[in-house]
A and B are shown apart, each in its own frame.
Chain A
Amino acid sequence: EAQVTQNPRYLITVTGKKLTVTCSQNMNHEYMSWYRQDPGLGLRQIYYSMNVEVTDKGDVPEGYKVSRKEKRNFPLILESPSPNQTSLYFCASSSTGGGHTEAFFGQGTRLTVV
C-alpha cells in the first residue's frame, strides 16, 4: 500500500529538548516536504526536498532543520523546541515537480511544547 508514515503521532515535550519527527514514504517519490497546520492559518510549508541531499526553506523554516540522506526518509528536527512550535505537522511526498501532481500526506504529528 502506498503511504507516507510519520512517527510519532503525538508528542508532548519540554522547551529546549531536541526532538525528531520521522517521515518515510514507500512510493519512490523524489519530492518531500513538511507542513504545519495551525488554527486560522491553514497549511504552511516548513521545508522541502527535491531529491537526496537537496533541501530548501519553505515559508516558515525558523526553528527547524531537515535532512534527506535517503530518498524514502525526510526527518524534521527541532533542535530547541519552543511553545510557538506547538502545532500539527504533516509530511508529504509527490512524484513530480511544480506541484502538478497530487501530494500524498502522512497522518500527522501533533506536537505540544510546554
Chain B
Amino acid sequence: DQQVKQNSPSLSVQEGRISILNCDYTNSMFDYFLWYKKYPAEGPTFLISISSIKDKNEDGRFTVFLNKSAKHLSLHIVPSQPGDSAVYFCAASVRGSNYKLTFGKGTLLTVNP
C-alpha cells in the first residue's frame, strides 16, 4: 500500500521556466511533508517542508503548496536552472509516529539549458 505517490517518474523543462513536481498521499493522518533532492552518487538532501496547518511555504526559488482536501502537494521551482536536475522525493510523516518518514518513489527532473 503506497501511501505517498509521485506518479510522474520524470519531468523535463527548459531553463528559466517553471518546474512543477506533484505528490499525492492517502494517509489523512500525515501532518508534515518534506521534499528532498538527490543527485547521483550522493545522499538525499533536505529542500523544503510544510506543516499541515499551512497551505504554502516559500524558500527562494522553491515553493511547496499543500491541498489537504485533495491530499495533494506540489513543489514549484521558479526559475528552473540546470543545477536543479536531480531526483526529487516527496516524504510525509505523522506526529508521534516514532520518527518515521514515508517516501514517494521520486521524480527525475531534467532542466535543459
Q: B-contacting residues of A (Cβ < 8 Å)?
A: 4, 31, 33, 35, 40-45, 48, 50, 56, 58, 90, 92, 94, 97-100, 102-108
Q: Are A105 and B104 in contact (CB under 8 A)?
A: no
Q: Give the CA-CA distance A45 to B103 in the complex, in Å.
A: 9
Q: Are A44 and B42 in contact (CB under 8 A)?
A: no
Nearest CB in chain A: distance from B40 CB, A: 10
Q: Give the CA-CA distance A97 to B94 in the complex, in Å.
A: 10
Residues of A within 8 A of B104 (CB): 42
Q: Give the CA-CA distance A105 to B41 in the complex, in Å.
A: 12
Task: Choose among A42, A102, A104, A107 the residue that contacts B103 (Cβ–Cβ < 8 A).
Answer: A42
Residues of B within 8 A of A45 (CB): 100-101
Residues of B within 8 A of A94 (CB): 99
Q: Is the interface of B mostly helix, strand, loop or mixed?
A: loop
Can you add 9 more A-B contacts, CB < 8 Å, to A97-B99, A98-B97, A99-B92? Answer: A42-B89, A99-B32, A99-B99, A100-B32, A100-B95, A102-B46, A103-B101, A105-B36, A108-B43
Q: Are B105 and A41 in contact (CB under 8 A)?
A: yes
Q: Are A99 and B105 in contact (CB under 8 A)?
A: no
User: Closest residue to A44 on the B side, CB-wise?
Assistant: B103
**Contact digits for B19-51, partner A, Cβ 8 Å, 1 yes 0 no:** 000000000000010101000011111100101
Q: Give the CA-CA distance A104 to B44 in the complex, in Å.
A: 8
Residues of B within 8 A of A44 (CB): 103
User: Closest residue to B103 on the A side, CB-wise?
Assistant: A43
17 A-B contacts (beta carbon < 8 Å)? A42-B89, A42-B103, A42-B104, A43-B89, A45-B101, A50-B98, A58-B100, A90-B43, A97-B98, A97-B99, A98-B95, A99-B32, A100-B32, A102-B49, A103-B101, A105-B36, A105-B43
